[in-house]
Structure 1
Amino acid sequence: MATDVSRPGATLIMHFTHIDNLPAILAAGRLFPDNVVGTRLATNVGAADIKASRRDRIITCQPGGVVADYVPFYFAERSPMMYRIACEHRDGKTGCYPDGDDPLVYLVSTVERVHEARLSWVASDGNCAHHLTNFSRSLDELAELVDWPLMRERIWKNLPDDQDRIRRRMAEFLVHREFPLDLLVGYAVRTSQRAAQLRCVLQTAGIIDPYVRVRPNWYYGYKRKGAEE
């Protein structure tokens, strides 16, 4: 278990989306929040119930609004949201996005790049839809707001003596209104095949030498039950 409780020097933030959404995102040159994105998404991986709750959840500090007015990033890979996506694929759950986490691409930036660009942002200490979650727009408060040791843990499930781990693991960095893609530091995918596909998409958009890395440990990669190996 990590013993360093401090915020990392360069604080990675991660937004994931289906690879089919990348052409439209790259054409726009930015990410948009759920309240604005509309039909721009070719493949929507988000759960309808979660999206609805985020449209109602008020941000309690400036610049205000609701969670769905912000572009969301996580502070850690293998989020509970990605776990839900992977499990729904594994179990063949009906009425849900069916294809699991393999086609998802991480768009990676840092807190520092967003802050230096003077964009409006808000951070949460956990799941933004939860009533216990607190918000802050202070860079100095991030050290105490986010549970950094938990962000470094591979296993984040609730424990008998700590029933709040899942909520805290879902801490977010929310960028108001839009996120320009020139603030990205790179992309991550699960397999080398996805990396080749992603490089082709990026190069078609005019990004000649993209920083793409294969990070299988950022994914769950569950196979559909009953599927042949």
Structure 2
Amino acid sequence: MSDTIGQPKPTLIMHFTHIDNLPAVLKAGRLFSDGSVGPQLATNVGAAEIKARRRERRVPCPPGGVVADYVPFYFAPRSPMMFRIACDHRDGKSGCYPGGDDPLVYLVSSVERVSDAGREWVASDGNCAVGLTSFSASLDELATLVDWPLLRAKVWKDIPEDMDRMRRRAAEFLVHREFPLDLLAGYAVRTEERREQVRQVFRDAGMIEPYVSVRPNWYYGYTRREVRE
């Protein structure tokens, strides 16, 4: 692991969901763990086989349980999961969520906000569905647990001299059971049109419009049969 660039402070974390899910999320005032979210998802973008593995993967440090008992956040945008979603859309893959990454909304917070609020959490050094992934609930260990330079890299695919890059690029910050929305710093979307849609969802809910940043570089944005670097 390279140590040329260390852990950023504050340490951002980001969860993404389809914009169709926002009304139910706002009504609940929180995000629920993967294992209990159920009807809150109007549009499910996750892969069923991956979710099944997360329901079985034990978390070896307190508060324990399985990965599906936690609300998942990434430490960086353009995750391998989002890449899969974008590619499934580009390739018209059958049996998968077809809409691509454009309708996905990032809910952004930070490790510090979660810790200061006293919420229980666990971090991983890579994809939580993979057996060799390690976990820690120590703030002091985050600096060395996560491959921060790789999380900043635009290209993270496995290479002959390092066939573990994709797993490490999927490092997660897992918040136990539920995540209150008052711990969010803001939201991020791909386009101005999506920003207006998010603001309208808040207006429809009778809520104050949030801070919404347009971050096209946080997305892949593939169209059908198009490949971009």
C-alpha RMSD of the superposition: 1.2
Moved more, 202-211 or 115-124: 202-211
How far is the alpha carbon of 1:30 from its aligned partner? 0.1
How far is the alpha carbon of 1:3 from its aligned partner? 6.2
Which residue of the partner structure matches residue 168 of structure 1? 168
Moved more, 197-206 or 49-58: 197-206
The code of the aligned residue for 1:205 comes to A
Following the alignment from structure 1 to structure 2, what is the Cα–Cα distance between the partners of residues 209 and 99?
Answer: 25
Moved more, 74-83 or 155-164: 155-164
Q: Which aligned pairs between 1:80-229 and structure 2 lie closer than 5 A?
A: 80-225=80-225
The code of the aligned residue for 2:212 comes to V
1:142-167 per-position Cα deviation (integer Å, ceiling 9, x unaligned): 00000000111111111111110000
1:184-228 per-position Cα deviation (integer Å, ceiling 9, x unaligned): 0000000111011111112222332310010000000000128xx
- Whether the 8 Å contact between 1:90 and 1:100 is mirrored in structure 2 is yes
- Whether the 8 Å contact between 1:5 and 1:147 is mirrored in structure 2 is no
The code of the aligned residue for 1:58 comes to R
Following the alignment from structure 1 to structure 2, what is the Cα–Cα distance between the partners of residues 150 and 204?
Answer: 40
The code of the aligned residue for 1:170 comes to A
Which residue of the partner structure matches residue 63 of structure 1? 63
Residue ranges of structure 2 left out of the alignment (5+ in a row): none
Taking a change above 3 Å as real, the CA distance of residues 82 and 186 of structure 1, as seen in their structure-2 partners, is: same
Moved more, 201-210 or 39-48: 201-210
TM-score, normalised on structure 2? 0.96
Following the alignment from structure 1 to structure 2, what is the Cα–Cα distance between the partners of residues 38 and 105?
Answer: 19
1:17-72 per-position Cα deviation (integer Å, ceiling 9, x unaligned): 00000000000000001111112210000000000000000001000000000000
TM-score, normalised on structure 1? 0.96
1:83-108 per-position Cα deviation (integer Å, ceiling 9, x unaligned): 00000000000000000000000000
Residue-pair matches, total: 225
Following the alignment from structure 1 to structure 2, what is the Cα–Cα distance between the partners of residues 174 and 203?
Answer: 30
Which residue of the partner structure matches residue 44 of structure 1? 44
DSSP-derived class of the 1:123 partner: strand
The code of the aligned residue for 1:183 comes to L
- Whether the 8 Å contact between 1:122 and 1:174 is mirrored in structure 2 is yes
Following the alignment from structure 2 to structure 1, what is the Cα–Cα distance between the partners of residues 212 and 200?
Answer: 11
DSSP-derived class of the 2:166 partner: helix
DSSP-derived class of the 1:195 partner: helix
DSSP-derived class of the 1:82 partner: helix
